[in-house]
A = this chain, B = another copy of it.
Amino acid sequence: MTRLLIKNGTFVTMDERLAQYQGWMAIEGSLIAALGEGNAPEQEVALATETMDGTGLLFMPGLTNTHGHAAMSLLRGLADDLALQDWLQNHMWPTEAKFTGDDVYWGSSLAAAEMIKSGTTTFVDMYDHMDRVAEVVEKSGLRASLTRGVIGLCPEDVQKAKLADAIQFAKDWHGGADGRISVMISPHAPYTCPPDFIVKFVEAAHELDLPMHTHMSETLAEVEQNVRDYGCRPVEHLDRLGMFSRPTLLAHAVHLTDEEVALLGERKVAVSHNPVSNLKLASGVARVPDLLKAGVTVSLGTDSAASNNNLDLFQEIAMAALIHKGVSGDPTVIPAAEALRMGTVYGARSIGLDGITGQLKAGMKADFIALSIHKPHFVPRTDYISHLAYAARGSDVVHVWVDGKQLLRNGQLLTLDEEKILAEAERSFRRLRG
């Protein structure tokens, strides 16, 4: 088995000590074998089958993007700065209705290329034609938690077929791509799925022993509708329907009462915070400092490129560190380290990969990235935790490994054909709008 030894690198481990040091790391197979400060010990040098000089590079865990719709990268810049319903009904939905499996494949490939190039190593994807997304994961080498997102506003036979599709996808792909793919079960949202339909997803999740993922309380309007339709707010509604009896990841959770924050903490529900998308769609600012205080695992998602409009998780990390200070008036909330944890270790935790990915530790998966830091915006060398949260960009990423395999080298994709993806994605878009 090959054993890669990286020497003379700067390491930010995201472990409990928040260590940052000059040191070395050894990768064997899909795992981090060992790492430490200073010069590599002699026995590490002897064991190595391959050596890399890490001078000028900062190594850290790969980022986890915990909410998105990769294929919607085809809709980037199609429509912006519009009222939500106008945007959805007149631009997004009519175009998405025409998506074929091939469109999903090329749109997701476009997203995968952008994610790898900006340092994301694990992503959550909720969409349709999920077999084609799984193909992209398999080919790209990324790690992913995939889920067929089902909208239930349709006749019962169509509902049944969609649920069956979601279950079949889980059976086909959970544990797929050498274990890099896991699957979640997803009713799209409380406002797009009748309660009895949501219950069927909860039952399926129990049967398949899988976690759940859904959109919740992204806008004030949907919360108000929930109260009108069901007599309670979304957290209580989903709790009553049994969803939180499964490990659950909620996307957005912008509009919450104190009671809802407390209940999410008690039920150990995770929240994917999507600050850029929430701002762009004018949904509001989630109560992240309160959620963290309540013990909720809060991770970061980009949502799709249609409401962002990029998939650079470093932007979400910076936004998470900035927005809650400005809105609360307290410059000490969400310090740099906490924002970085949201993008790494909390991301892994929120999709059941705690202890598996999201930190640099011996025995964990070799999912890591290297940033080129011999640049003005990383000088002076004061505090790399601060630099990563506030000054870095995804474009600083030059090397990416997932499961011990290198996916990006000197900014060049190794598993995907970038030229073909750019051309096919453009062609898909032209056909969809043509």
Contact = CB atoms under 8 A, between A and B. Distances in A.
Interface string A373-407: 01111011111001100110111100000000000
Given A387-B76, A393-B393, A379 B329 contact: no
A252 to B, nearest CB: 12
A322 B418 CA distance: 29
Interface string A349-385: 0000000000000000000000000111101111100
Interface in A394-434: 394-396, 418, 421-422, 425-426, 428-430
Chain A interface, >50% SS class: helix
B426 A77 contact: no
A130 B69 CA distance: 50
Contact of A80 (B327, B336, B375, B422): B336
A379 B425 contact: yes
Interface stretch (A142-150, A191-199, A276-284): A276-284
Contacts of A328: 282
A246 to B, nearest CB: 31
A305 B379 CA distance: 10
Contact of A74 (B87, B332, B380): B380
A376 B323 contact: no
Given A331-B281, A390-B309, A395-B393, A77 B383 contact: yes
- The residue among A83, A319, A394 with the most chain B CB atoms within 10 A of its own CB is A319
B84 A331 contact: yes
Given A281-B331, A329-B284, A76 B382 contact: yes
Nearest to A314: B393
Closest 6 CB pairs of A and B: A279-B326, A395-B395, A380-B429, A77-B382, A114-B376, A81-B335
Given A76-B382, A284-B326, 16 more contacts: A78-B383, A80-B336, A81-B335, A110-B379, A117-B376, A284-B329, A285-B326, A310-B377, A310-B391, A311-B377, A323-B326, A374-B422, A376-B421, A376-B422, A380-B425, A393-B393
